[in-house]
Amino acid sequence: AQKITQTQPGMFVQEKEAVTLDCTYDTSDQSYGLFWYKQPSSGEMIFLIYQGSYDEQNATEGRYSLNFQKARKSANLVISASQLGDSAMYFCAMREGLLGNEKLTFGTGTRLTIIP
Amino acid sequence: GAGVSQSPSNKVTEKGKDVELRCDPISGHTALYWYRQSLGQGLEFLIYFQGNSAPDKSGLPSDRFSAERTGGSVSTLTIQRTQQEDSAVYLCASGLGQGPPWETQYFGPGTRLLVL
């Protein structure tokens, strides 16, 4: 079973609109972290936002917020007031809090295109 | 401050040759990670370093792949007898080494390897 599922291979959104990128995860661990990264065409993975499994509040970082629904095992990224520079691949990732487990497991990504 | 740097940014080699990829982590980061991004496999974890030791090598695809880290800083990923399926972007990330699940990994720009 996939640990991270991103069901939207591509999305087109009008500039200035809000956009939600979906991410669901699968883990039996109680302690885990969820991350979103942005990968522009230049290739660098840029960290956007983090949510811990014990965090009661949804994480926010500027125009980015993470809609964390623990019971549904979803961690959707919301970008408010989208900009042309938001066009990129977006990856959801999870790190499970198992002792000694340091790796990030990534979803397949969503390619977001902002239309002027 | 300076981010994670990787060199070379691009590498073209012939099948059967050895290649070395270098990663300079963010200063003060004790944790270092290597990932591979390819069209067919997405983003895959390769190896994790804490200081100079590698507690998790579970992602290395074969014994042709090895990595070392010296002085708790620079890391080198070596691929011996390269094969065409090794063609991918090799990404390095570093982190503070505080442990899961709240550890954020910061990525470098990657090395694009093409094996002819």
Tens of pLDDT along chain A (116 residues)? Answer: 679 999 999 999 999 999 999 999 999 888 899 999 999 998 889 999 999 999 889 999 999 999 999 999 999 999 999 999 999 999 999 998 766 677 899 999 999 999 99
Contact B110, B37 (CB under 8 A): yes
Are β-strands A10-14 and A110-115 bridged in parallel, bridged antiparallel, or unpaired? Answer: parallel
pLDDT (0 to 100) of residue B115: 97
Q: Which of B58, B101, B110 sits opposite A52 (nearest CB)?
A: B101
Is B110 an interface residue toward A (CB < 8 Å)? Answer: yes
Distance from CA of A71 to the nearest CA of B (A): 19
Is A83 an interface residue toward B (CB < 8 Å)? Answer: no
CB contact under 8 A, B101 and A33: yes
User: pLDDT means per 10 residues in chain B (116 residues)?
Assistant: 91 97 95 92 90 89 95 95 96 84 86 97
Q: What is the three-class DSSP state of B86?
A: helix
Query: Which residues of chain B lie closer than 8 angstroms to A97, CB-CB?
Result: 100-101
Instruction: Find the closest chain A residue to B33 by CA distance.
Output: A103
For a pLDDT cut of 90, what percent of chain B falls above it?
A: 76
Query: DSSP labels for A27-62?
Result: ---SSEEEEEEEE-TT---EEEEEEETT--SPPEET
Query: DSSP labels for A50-99?
Result: EEETT--SPPEETTEEEEEETTTTEEEEEESS--GGG-EEEEEEEEE--T
Residue A70, CA distances (Å) to A93, B15, B32, B91 in order:
15, 47, 29, 30
